[in-house]
Structure 1
Amino acid sequence: MAEVLEFRVPGGRGRTLLVLGLETDAAEHALYLAFSAFGPLYSVRLRPNAPVAQPGHYALVKYFSARDAGRAQRACNQQSLFQKSPLKVCICTRQRSFPQQTLVLNSHKCQELANHYLGFNSWSSRIVTLQDISGFEEEENEEEASRALPGSQRCKYLCVQELTIPQHSICSRGIGVAEVPVDPSQGFIAAMRGAQKLAAQKALSDAFQKILLVVLENGKVAVEFSSPQDDLVDCLADEELKGLLQVTDLSLSQLNPEGEEEVLSDFSMDDE
């Protein structure tokens, strides 16, 4: 059976492992090395046991793929791995979730996921446009502008970046907006570079959000493009897009909402 993976924070059941019986609080790196052998990891979180339990630690290991998580659970359960006593590894089958919230995956994790399933040098990206929009959204009235604190200047940039996967004939564009306050001790140039870099990272992440990885049972991977047909960022030519960004309000405050991983405070265990 095929498994569809998105370039988003992994959610749903079967992707998170609960590791019990850890003897030390210095096992996070060892956990990452042991469990990443079965597939790319989203996160490894080490926590001390509750005061009412015996001394020790537990960990939550989250995979992008439920298939990888299942293989890891079966191979690692009741194995000592990197310590003397065996570990108990269970699949979290019930988690607190936020079904209406889309959690964006940062560009670094997107690149890691693409490199694992598609291979290094299998994709490339280029910046279509990078614009200073610090004065794009004006103050509502002069009274609010007069109340602005001295030294509260902010640097704001918009970036459009194009992602290409030649082997699968995929071309996707993403848009990102970043705003950075100007630190008087570092100057405007540092803030400008920080805003440019962050906007480019968000644009690359947004481009990856439109791509689906279809992983087959035999390990082969297909790539699908999933984007609304009326998405102007993907439909317009470079010259048209640059002109549009100069005159059109693109609801900048709504672009690329930041998302964090859901809290795994409620779970049940499945030893399979």
Structure 2
Amino acid sequence: MASRQFLTDEQWAVLSPLIPPPKRRADGRGRPVEHNDRAVLDGVLWILRTGAAWADLPDRYPSYATCFRRFSQWVKDGTLRHVLEALALDLQARGDIDLSECFIDGTFVVAKKGGRKVGKTKRGKGTKLMAIADAAGLPLAVHTASASPHEVTLVEATVDEIVTVGLPERLVGDRAYDSDPLDEKLAVDGIEVIAPHRKGRVKPATQDGRVLRRYKRRWKIERLFAWLNKFRRILTRWEYDDHRFTGFVHLACSMILLRRYL
């Protein structure tokens, strides 16, 4: 029989202090808590990794209604983002996060059910998933938005989602991030943007070959998206509520950080 648990004892020992117990109503009404948080989180992780519908959750986990309800509560009260932030801050304190050279990119996610933060593109309706990785490719920030706007307009909002103390010293991106106005805005916060110039650029070049050597390491953000794509619930957005989709992304990033944490 397949294992009931996705989380190891070591992983749960790290996560359990970060997940608040379910709250009971002040009047004592409502359903009693029937399952512990570890069993529920294992059920949510099964959905995240398989990409299956909630109703297909196997019987070895708590009911899909229980898992969905608890997951929605964790999204609403910010628990999943708090878990990601706590793991990242602890790794940073241990010296395992490197902000000297970070990478940014975005990917298109098909949205099957529509909802907020869904836009039309040549590839159909979808959501743009933006991410920032540190020098080792670990996730530092994720941001979801409509797929319609250009990625360069989403950079500042993505930077605002960084979960570590301090900001990247250098932010490396592809040609989509070649923007003098963006360079000026991020320079105010001490961030140097490094991106190859677009073809046909009218204004004088602002970067030379020495700086662009860092661009050769941009494969690290591509590897981060490859890691995220192993969580199949992120490959396609089935959530009408964009906050729940972002919650799945936060949980996937936390699982990636756990590998470095332990």
Q: Report the TM-score, using the length of structure 1 for normalisation.
A: 0.30
Structure ranking higher in strand proportion = 1
Structure ranking higher in helix proportion = 2
Structure of higher CA gyration radius: 1
Q: Report the TM-score, using the length of structure 2 for normalisation.
A: 0.31
